[in-house]
Chains A and B, each alone.
Chain A
Amino acid sequence: MNQLIWLIPILPLAGFIINGLGRNSFSKNLTGFIGSLLVLVSFGLSIATFLQVKSTGAPINVTYFNWISAGPIHVPFAFLVDQLSSIMLLIITGVGFLIHLYSIGYMHDDKGFGKFFAYLNLFVFFMLLLVMGSNYIIMFIGWEGVGLCSYLLIGFWYTNPAYADAAKKAFIMNRIGDLGFLLGVFLIIYAFGSVEFATLFPKAATMKVGAAPFFTITILLFIGATGKSAQLPLFTWLPDAMAGPTPVSALIHAATMVTAGIYMIARSNIFFSLAPDTMEIIAIVGLATALFAALIAVTQTDIKKVLAYSTVSQLGYMFLGLGVGAYTGAFFHVLTHAFFKALLFLGAGSVIHAMGGEQDMRKMGGLKGKIKVTFITMLIGTIAIAGIPPFSGFFSKDEILSHAFAHSTTFYVVGVFTAMLTSFYMFRMMYLTFWGKFRGTHEQEHHVHESPATMTIPLIVLAALSIVGGLINWPEALGGHAALEHFLEPLFKASNAVLPSAELSAGTEKLLMGISVGVAFIALVYAYIKYVKNGSLPVADTEERPALTGLSYHKFYVDELYDFLIRKPLDFLSTFFYNVIDKMGIDGLVNGIGKGTVETSKGLRLLQTGNVGFYIFVMVLGIVAVLLYSVFGLTKV
């Protein structure tokens, strides 16, 4: 197996090259087949790798060649597959394959079909590189590469300026984070002289808690994570990223790329464990993001926007988990979230497909009888995300919440409140979409149809995974044996030794579970009463909203705030520099030299009178000057 792991990322790259070159000549079926098959083969290899890691318990570390050698720093091109990355491989290739399959149906009528598959394959390649890299530099290649693919795919329909703007926004926001990440890596090189995980972490584990470099390094890495994983204050790109095709939203902006930040922090967990201040900041930022995004999601009317904010909110949960030291919990949530959020996005895509491109929930309704498979699978996803047992979301969220409770009660209360909001807005989305009367046009009503099998099969598979996903880390409090936790233990051993243990009694844990299930049900019922019983609808854009809902509907005016705080001053500064420094200063200098030359020449030209006598006179003076110089100048010397 060790010899073959290079195939895992190379196959999608080959798919990118083949599909990219043949995008105009291949038939759509062939393109889809190649793209999906290569990812499927990667998935098969990933399973084999996973099984090997599981059976031997030892990470696979393969060095291919020495890539960068600069003085004392050596960066090999090497892959490291351990417990953490093997699971990420499964998510990326598995969910990636399902989404490829789904895209065959979803993108079938699109002109850019071949291009789309090429980009998707490229994304999978970079994501695999990010996960498999054995050092921060290779991780950074993948990190940048997924950002690029994200940009390409958000702006996939680039003829729409708003979509192109969304792509640029995502790219720029990501760049801000990337800079943090890059600086963090530089600091690591400065402090440790290496970027290899295998040498860094054991070295770091011997150092004291709160040692000098860790706070700065972790804060910088965390800034990188906030960009990629859409946390406060860099989260605004993710909702806009919904401009891309829905499978992209599912793959990149829900299941894989946005979890890169969590993966990176989980990978460098020992650094973070040794910097308690950063941990606190991460927890607070994560919690704030979770609450903030949930509040916004409550009033959104675009089905994809609801899911986008819910993604931001769930990512906030994961950061909360990281911040309170629940690395396993956070990673568990990455796993389950990949299942149910991909499912929800694909379901939403199916709904949009059925509605002929309509994304506004106010124009949907009553779809549950018409697109049954989509409805049932989405319901499963919603139950999973809302945290109702025994579906997967319950377990992962609960693990984070119980760790938060052990850390601080305030965190727990806010977390539970956010969980309640989550349940509310998800069921609100379901009720608005599937219950009630159909509110669209007659044409749309006529058009509504179940999606083809290539789209429903991924839904069913993901729904099944969303149901059983919780089993892999069945908590001990409920008589399970926390398989994932034991599996990942070698990675977090050093951190667990540093961090205060958060052991709760089984009774407390059960009580906490009861509370979160309770609030989820309350929210569910409240949403049912509000949207099904009373049949109330979100008001149209033109109507006045009450202050608080208005604030939420307009996303707390964060975009406008950024506009005012950053773009406007920047614009002003640019205009100022353009007008004053560039136009007057630099242009003035350049033009001044030109004008000066012209003016001087105009003056000097007058000396050229054409009067031969004058020329001779000047010549005579010149001869005299030369003579005088040779007489008096030379004698002195």
Chain B
Amino acid sequence: MSTFYFIAFLSIFFSILVITAKNPVHSILYLILTFFTFTIHYILLNAQFLAIVNFIVYMGAILVLFLYTLMLINLNKDSEPVKPFMVKVAGVFGGGILAVALASSLKLVAQSNPVVLQNPELGLVKNLGKVLFNEFLLPFEVSSVLLLSAMVGAVLLATKDPKTAA
């Protein structure tokens, strides 16, 4: 039980660091740490498949992509222009209010039962695979099209226009 609160504290702590770090590279590193805490959350919920996917896709692929892009752009110096202080205050204020609003909407749920793992098999690869390939077969196949189009789009966007380059 205390494990959850400790990990939750780490999640919040690192995510705050993500948005406050001056250097974008540091931000990414903190983000990796944050995502790592999320992976632990998934394991705690016995969602093993998601934990692994999160570990591989997010931390392995996506964040590496971030780092790679950042290096490509070569913006690792603290060149980011700082927003005015008032804007920052306003931003924090807005986000804080959002958090309060979200928390207060808990009132609507009005139930605080503990999360009990009724079926330990739930988050296992075998179980999820069955669900995925039975009920969600079509969305699953469509998502492959999505990934393909995203790939084509990314290539198209990132290639230099031959006319303008010339």
Instruction: Report if A and B touch in the complex (beta carbons < 8 A).
Output: yes
List A residues at the B interface (Cβ < 8 Å): 613, 617, 620-621, 623-624, 627-628, 630-632, 634-635
Contacts of A634 in B (CB 8 A): 108
Closest chain A residue to B83, Cβ basis: A613
Closest chain A residue to B94, Cβ basis: A620
Contacts of B98 in A (CB 8 A): 620, 623-624, 627
Please tell me which stretch of B9-17, B45-53, B54-62, B99-107 contacts chain A, meaning at least 4 of its Cβ atoms lie within 8 angstroms of it: B99-107
Closest chain A residue to B97, Cβ basis: A624
1/0 per residue, CB under 8 A from A, across B72-102: the answer is 0000000000010001001100110110011
Alpha-carbon distance A632/B108, docked complex (angstroms): 10
Are A630 and B94 in contact (CB-based, < 8 A)?
A: no
Query: Taking the nearest CB of chain A, how far is it from the CB of B85, in angstroms?
Result: 14
Are A617 and B94 in contact (CB-based, < 8 A)?
A: yes
Alpha-carbon distance A522/B116, docked complex (angstroms): 136
Are A627 and B101 in contact (CB-based, < 8 A)?
A: yes
Closest chain A residue to B90, Cβ basis: A617
Contacts of B101 in A (CB 8 A): 623-624, 627-628, 631
16 of the cross-chain contacts (CB-CB < 8 Å) are A617-B90, A617-B91, A620-B95, A620-B98, A621-B97, A623-B101, A624-B98, A624-B101, A627-B98, A627-B101, A628-B101, A630-B105, A631-B101, A631-B107, A631-B108, A635-B107
Query: Taking the nearest CB of chain A, how far is it from the CB of B93, in angstroms?
Result: 10
For the complex with contacts A620-B98, A631-B101, A631-B108, 16 further pairs of A-B residues with Cβ separation under 8 Å are A613-B83, A613-B87, A617-B90, A620-B94, A620-B95, A621-B97, A623-B98, A624-B94, A624-B97, A624-B98, A627-B98, A627-B101, A627-B104, A627-B105, A628-B101, A635-B108
Closest chain B residue to A623, Cβ basis: B98
Contacts of A620 in B (CB 8 A): 94-95, 98
Are B94 and A621 in contact (CB-based, < 8 A)?
A: yes
Contacts of A630 in B (CB 8 A): 105, 108
Closest chain A residue to B91, Cβ basis: A617
Contacts of A627 in B (CB 8 A): 98, 101-102, 104-105
Alpha-carbon distance A630/B102, docked complex (angstroms): 11
Contacts of B108 in A (CB 8 A): 630-631, 634-635
Query: Taking the nearest CB of chain A, how far is it from the CB of B106, in angstroms?
Result: 9
Interface centre among A613, A628, A631 (most CB of B within 10 A): A631
Alpha-carbon distance A621/B94, docked complex (angstroms): 7
Query: Taking the nearest CB of chain B, how far is it from the CB of A224, in angstroms?
Result: 79
Q: CB within 8 Å of A: which of B92-130? A: 94-95, 97-98, 101-102, 104-105, 107-108
A-B interface, 9 closest residue pairs, ranked by CB to CB distance from nearest: A627-B101, A620-B94, A624-B101, A631-B105, A624-B97, A631-B104, A624-B98, A628-B101, A617-B94
Alpha-carbon distance A621/B91, docked complex (angstroms): 10
A interface majority secondary structure: helix
Contacts of B97 in A (CB 8 A): 621, 624
Contacts of A635 in B (CB 8 A): 107-108
Alpha-carbon distance A52/B89, docked complex (angstroms): 109
Alpha-carbon distance A617/B92, docked complex (angstroms): 10
Query: Taking the nearest CB of chain B, how far is it from the CB of A257, in angstroms?
Result: 86
Query: Taking the nearest CB of chain B, how far is it from the CB of A611, in angstroms?
Result: 10
Closest chain A residue to B102, Cβ basis: A627
Contacts of A613 in B (CB 8 A): 83, 87, 91
Contacts of B83 in A (CB 8 A): 613
Query: Taking the nearest CB of chain A, how far is it from the CB of B91, in angstroms?
Result: 7
Alpha-carbon distance A617/B95, docked complex (angstroms): 9
Query: Taking the nearest CB of chain B, how far is it from the CB of A165, in angstroms?
Result: 75
Query: Taking the nearest CB of chain B, how far is it from the CB of A250, in angstroms?
Result: 92
Alpha-carbon distance A568/B95, docked complex (angstroms): 73
Alpha-carbon distance A613/B90, docked complex (angstroms): 11
Contacts of A632 in B (CB 8 A): 104
Query: Taking the nearest CB of chain B, how far is it from the CB of A637, in angstroms?
Result: 13
Interface centre among B83, B94, B105 (most CB of A within 10 A): B94
Contacts of B94 in A (CB 8 A): 617, 620-621, 624
Alpha-carbon distance A635/B97, docked complex (angstroms): 19
Alpha-carbon distance A80/B108, docked complex (angstroms): 89
Alpha-carbon distance A617/B88, docked complex (angstroms): 11
Interface centre among B90, B97, B104 (most CB of A within 10 A): B97
Alpha-carbon distance A434/B105, docked complex (angstroms): 113
Alpha-carbon distance A623/B97, docked complex (angstroms): 10
Interface centre among A613, A621, A627 (most CB of B within 10 A): A627
Contacts of A623 in B (CB 8 A): 98, 101
Alpha-carbon distance A617/B98, docked complex (angstroms): 11
Closest chain A residue to B87, Cβ basis: A613
Closest chain A residue to B99, Cβ basis: A624
Contacts of A628 in B (CB 8 A): 101, 104
Closest chain A residue to B108, Cβ basis: A631
Interface centre among B90, B101, B102, B107 (most CB of A within 10 A): B101
Contacts of B105 in A (CB 8 A): 627, 630-631
Alpha-carbon distance A631/B98, docked complex (angstroms): 13
Alpha-carbon distance A624/B100, docked complex (angstroms): 9
Query: Taking the nearest CB of chain A, how far is it from the CB of B131, in angstroms?
Result: 32
Query: Taking the nearest CB of chain A, how far is it from the CB of B84, in angstroms?
Result: 11
Closest chain B residue to A627, Cβ basis: B101
Alpha-carbon distance A624/B102, docked complex (angstroms): 8
Alpha-carbon distance A114/B95, docked complex (angstroms): 90
Closest chain B residue to A635, Cβ basis: B107
Closest chain B residue to A621, Cβ basis: B94
Alpha-carbon distance A628/B90, docked complex (angstroms): 19
